[in-house]
Structure 1
Amino acid sequence: MERRLSILKISIRQIKAARALVAWSQEDLAQNSGVSIPTIRRLEARDGEIGGRQETGAKLVAALEAVGVEFIPENGGGAGVRLKKSR
């Protein structure tokens, strides 16, 4: 349950920044997440937290995390993203 709550706090800006870190287009994100391109375009046209259905946000986050993106929560220094260190 805690993971689901954190997904709700991820912003569209974080999704866009994460895509940029891994050099993914909206089409790449759609292919890797199973979320349609029109849905991703609609979500990214707005600002703020990920809107729509909770499972849609979860799919986007899971696809980006699978390629090494780490979502950093708002903790006084601002929310963000980074790539995880290689092992």
Structure 2
Amino acid sequence: MVNELLTPAQARAARAWLYWSKRELAEKSGVSAKTILRFEKGESVPYASTLLKLRLAFEQAGINFQFDGAAAKGIRIP
């Protein structure tokens, strides 16, 4: 999981699937809504620890992320 970093596209897809606003994701992950906005728009790359917080919030809600090595492939809903 260390090399499998969440991508903006995966974050947008997961958030859309869960019907979460940026504010809801911020509350659930402990990451600011402004950071989420910049990340999803591709304007910044957060620290790995920030990406992990986002990923864990999604995974706790039932989202599984798909990777091929370190390359992102999408999301999967069990």
Q: Which category describes the TM-score, using the shorter chain as reference length?
A: 0.7 to 0.9
Q: Where do 1:48-87 residues align within 5 Å? A: 51-74=45-68, 79-84=73-78
Q: Percent identity?
A: 36
Instruction: Find out whether 1:31 has 2:27 as its counterpart.
Output: yes
Listed as ranges, the gaps of 5+ residues in structure 1 are none
SS at match of 2:65: strand
SS at match of 1:73: strand
Q: For residue 46 of structure 1, what is the amino acid of its counterpart?
A: G
Listed as ranges, the gaps of 5+ residues in structure 2 are none
Alignment TM-score, normalising by the size of structure 1: 0.78
The alignment of Structure 1 onto Structure 2 pairs a total of residues equal to 76
Alignment TM-score, normalising by the size of structure 2: 0.86
- The structure with the largest alpha-carbon Rg is 1
Measured on the aligned residues, the alpha-carbon RMSD in Å equals 1.9
Shift of 1:62: 0.1
Shift of 1:74: 3.4
Equivalent residue for 2:3, pick from 1, 5, 13: 5
